[in-house]
Amino acid sequence: MNEDILIKTIARLTTAPKGILAIDESLSTCDKRFEKLGVPTTIEKRQEYRELLVTAPQIEKYISGYILFDETIKQATRSGEPFLSVLKSKGIEIGIKVDTGPVDFPEHPGEKITAGLEGLSERLKEYKALGATFAKWRSVYTIGENTPSEECMKASAEIFAKYALICQENEVVPIVEPEILMDGEHSLEKCYEATARNLEIIFSELNAQKIFLPGIILKTNMILPGKDSKVIVDALEIAKATVKCLKEKVPKEIGGITFLSGGQGDEEATVRLNAMHKLSPLPWALTFSYGRAIQNPALKAWAKNPSDVALAQALLLTAAKNNSLASVGRYEK
């Protein structure tokens, strides 16, 4: 393992005031979002949409890395330029989602673990040859009366460690993404408790397997009340709870921390990240790795009028800029 390569990649990814844009929705997730907006769910439409995301002028001022999906990493613009060469010419790092999605966790109804370890090393080598410098693996956990269970968290942590090791051996930075879902009526305290325990289990396993922590990025949820709880919590309270949880449970030597947006309102995701940076100094680089919170306005505009690519790209740029400002605590509504 070349530790220096991993550290340098993370430094480029977390350079202020930049963050990561996730455009790695699986085919089914992408199609669901298209269907909702009346967009045909075809490979051509997915290419067209992702072309506008990849070619957005000036996006490199705010975005350090794009996370792609297998279909997208091999696509090209309609004029024939591979997406990868467009991104590389802007100095943007190439990331790739390498898990193959959630599967049922045996004997634990409602709980999931994540598949995709089989053949991972070979796939990573192929992606690395194409230019990928970082990867992403996501596990999801639902808060319920008895979930997430210790068994599920432990099983997922073991999988994360195996994934992280394979990535690091291939000199690709692993993003470890445990997502406690917002679904449900639970309180902010419950989310805190589940996130804290899960991070404890994950870092204990990563340490046990001797994963090089300065060479990973944690991508996590913020500490939030469930989206059906109807509780309104202000940004400062969320920021304080999230930073407290991360300070308590994430080792200082980690390469960096990024957030997923997870279905928060676009503005909320920005304001909350901004509020965290008002609590500096923070012991680690802390920025965004949003999908929906950056893409939403652009996707809606493009769905309405696919010929107005310039408008969709302008909306994407504004969302990226707002989150870039939030990543250094300088966003104002």
Q: What does the binding site for ligand 13P look like in residue numbers (CB under 6 A)?
A: 22, 138, 177, 260-262, 290-293
* Closer residue to ligand 13P in complex, CB, 181/233: 181
Rounded least distance, CB 208 to ligand 13P, Å:
25
Which residue among 112, 219, 249, 321 is the active-site one? 219
Rounded least distance, CB 333 to ligand 13P, Å:
20
Rounded least distance, CB 315 to ligand 13P, Å:
16
* Closer residue to ligand 13P in complex, CB, 184/291: 291
**Residue pair 182/226 in contact by the 8 Å Cβ criterion:** yes
* Closer residue to ligand 13P in complex, CB, 174/262: 262
**Residue pair 294/260 in contact by the 8 Å Cβ criterion:** no
Among this protein's residues, is 219 annotated catalytic? yes
Strand locations in the chain, DSSP E? Answer: 19-22, 63-68, 93-97, 101-104, 112-115, 132-141, 173-180, 217-220, 256-259, 286-290
* Closer residue to ligand 13P in complex, CB, 77/318: 318
Cα separation, 301 vs 331, in Å, equals: 23
Rounded least distance, CB 219 to ligand 13P, Å:
7
Which residue among 93, 177, 249, 321 is the active-site one? 177
Strand locations in 51-145, DSSP E? Answer: 63-68, 93-97, 101-104, 112-115, 132-141
Report which of 21, 41, 46, 17 is spatially closest to residue 31, judged by C-alpha positions: 41
Among this protein's residues, is 177 annotated catalytic? yes
- Using the 8-state DSSP alphabet, how is residue 59 labeled? G
Active-site residues, by number, are 177, 219
